Amino acid sequence: YLMLRYTPEVDWSKVPPTKAETVVVVDTSAGGDEPSRALRTAAAEAVLRALADEDRFALVALDVRPVVLYPDKGLAGPTEADVSRALEKLSSYTVGGATDLGSMFETALERLHGADAPAVVYVGDGVPTSGETATDALLARMRRSFTGSRARLFTVGVGSAARHDTLTRLAHAGGGQHARIAEVEDTTGQALRLVGAVKGPTITELSLDLGAGLDEPFWSVDGKVSRGEEVVLLARTHHPLPARAKVK
């Protein structure tokens, strides 16, 4: 049995902050009461208003299927006018029925194609009621969707009924972070922390080669490592380990 721990040899202090190119996905399903839905909207607004002038965003509503609310094409700048128009679209959007969490990945990634440091931010309770409803199935779909993409997944669990366990696992596997918002007073602070993490420098295409012969390898990350994180590999082998590990 093998455990490998690796910390990237990067001088993070010399890496400039990245420009946030973000798709914010808001759960607009019928689940939860009116205060819960209002809290989701407040959380999404806080994230959008935490973006800087050089950042870009799109806003997506998610229930039985994802719908891009704003802008019509590409990504918009976080100007007061653009954020206000996006929030107007969200407030006038008809509340849907079930929640298909897995369906958001492809739609969000389409808007982020070609971005240097793309990120998907989900805002909601993390309770899937259609499509993949089991956490392991959701993780598998996310990994398939994100294969070959630099995008990271961040999650914001909103309300007292939020499935923080599911959302934490999704964010960790997606190379991002999870935030919790239980009250309106939490929105600004958590949004600033989350956007700071989105803009933080991240290795998005890390690979480690320990040669052939590893059985059932388990990686703590899927090729995405941020400042302060390490990579952990668990596996078993019946072969001698190579003298060197190759890192890309």
Which tens digits make up the pLDDT trace of 196-240?
Answer: 888 888 888 888 888 777 888 888 777 788 888 888 999 998 888
- CA-to-CA separations, 111 to 8, 52, 68, 121, 192, in angstroms, rounded: 30, 19, 9, 13, 23
Q: Summarize the confidence of residues 13-26 as an average pLDDT.
A: 88
Q: Whose CA is closest to 117, among 228, 20, 17?
A: 20
Least confident interval from 75-84, 136-145, 207-216:
207-216
- What's the average model confidence in pLDDT over 166-171? 93
What DSSP designation does 147 have?
T
Q: What is the pLDDT of residue 150?
A: 87
CB of 235 closer than 8 Å to CB of 215? yes
The CA-based dihedral angle spanning residues 146, 47, 41, 101, taken in that order and rounded to the nearest 10 degrees: 10
* Stated pTM of the model: 0.86
Nearest Cα residue to 201 out of 17, 11, 9: 17
Specify the higher pLDDT residue, 106 or 133.
106
- The token pair that represents 178 in the structure block: 């999870």
Amino acid sitting at position 181: I
Burial of residue 91, with CB atoms counted within 10 A of its CB: 0-12 exposed, 13-18 middle, 19 or more buried: exposed
Looking at residue 64, what is its pLDDT?
86
Residue 226 CA to residue 115 CA, distance in Å, equals 17
Residue 151 to residue 20: CA distance in whole angstroms: 11
For residues 56-79, average pLDDT: 94
Residue 146 and residue 116 in contact, taking contact as beta carbons nearer than 8 Å: no
Compute the average pLDDT of residues 75-95: 93
Cα angle 231, 235, 238 (rounded to 5 degrees) comes to 140
pLDDT higher than threshold 70 for residue 32: no
pLDDT at 116: 80
pLDDT in the model for residue 228:
81
User: pLDDT, tens digit, for every residue of 58-69?
Assistant: 999 998 899 999
Average pLDDT, the chain: 89
Q: Is the pLDDT of residue 33 over 80?
A: no
In the chain, % of residues over pLDDT 90: 51
Give the tens place of pLDDT for each residue, 174-193.
889 999 999 999 899 999 99
Backbone angles phi, psi at 136, to 5 degrees: -65, -35
